[in-house]
Amino acid sequence: MDVSTRAVLTAAIAAGVAAAAFVGQLPLVVVAGLLTVLLALGWPVLLDLPNPLGSGVVIALVGLGSVLAVTVSTGATLLWLVPTVVALGVLLAFVAELLRQDGRLRLVESVTGTVTGLLVVSAASGWVAALRAPGDTALVITGAAALAVSAAVSAVHLGVRTGALVTTAAGVITGAAVGSVMPGLSILPGLALGFATGLLVAALHVLLAGVGTLCRFLAAVAAVVLPVLLGGILVYVVGRVLVG
């Protein structure tokens, strides 16, 4: 799966997030849960972790737990409940290492890679939390739309610097345009969402360039869903700061 294909798939998934948010909370929860499972399958392969099964199980549990926690609870869930789920996930990461029967080779690499995966999947809960924050559906649709356009633009080979600038600019323009027409939103949150998501896509595009494990299918899947998952927490934060 080449870089352009991954970018287009990321754009399609981001558009799917926007569509799910438009339909309602339950479809968005299902999409967020599926994305966490996909990352759990591919993350250990992407980082070439020595204990892919244990790491993947822990990452999946934390991702699904974070999404569920935001879905069923009330109040400022991301301020305490999601970090609690992540903290429990860190403990599970060590338990997974204790259960290894291979001599625990590359132990530090395995733990740090798993914990990083926990942080990534927990960000998916931001999509659901944003749907319940000020701006709600309009906020999620604007952020997802900016992410989708940025990802689509990043599929064009423009070089590192030019590509990063164009990708970020595409996000800013899309966020401002969509935010200005969304009820309950304005151009300022749209600009911020577009800049944050565009910069995220551009940074990950550069960061993942040349990673050798991306020739493996599951690793490529993780790279595809990675920007969408991280975009969730960005949308939530922008909503709380500029809309709430």
Alpha helices in the chain (DSSP H): 3-23, 25-46, 52-72, 77-98, 107-122, 125-131, 136-154, 160-181, 187-208, 217-238
Tell me how far CA of residue 178 lies from CA of 24, 48, 82, 173, 196, in angstroms: 19, 39, 29, 9, 15
Structure tokens at 84: 């609690």
Give this prediction's pTM. 0.91
Question: What is the amino acid identity at position 58?
Answer: V
pLDDT in tens, the chain (244 residues): 788 889 999 999 999 999 999 998 899 999 999 999 999 999 999 999 999 999 999 999 999 999 998 888 766 556 688 889 999 999 999 999 998 888 778 889 999 999 999 999 999 999 998 887 776 888 999 999 999 999 999 888 888 888 889 999 999 999 999 988 888 788 888 899 999 999 999 999 888 887 888 889 999 999 999 999 999 999 998 888 877 6
Residues, the chain? 244
Tokens of 15: 């558009």
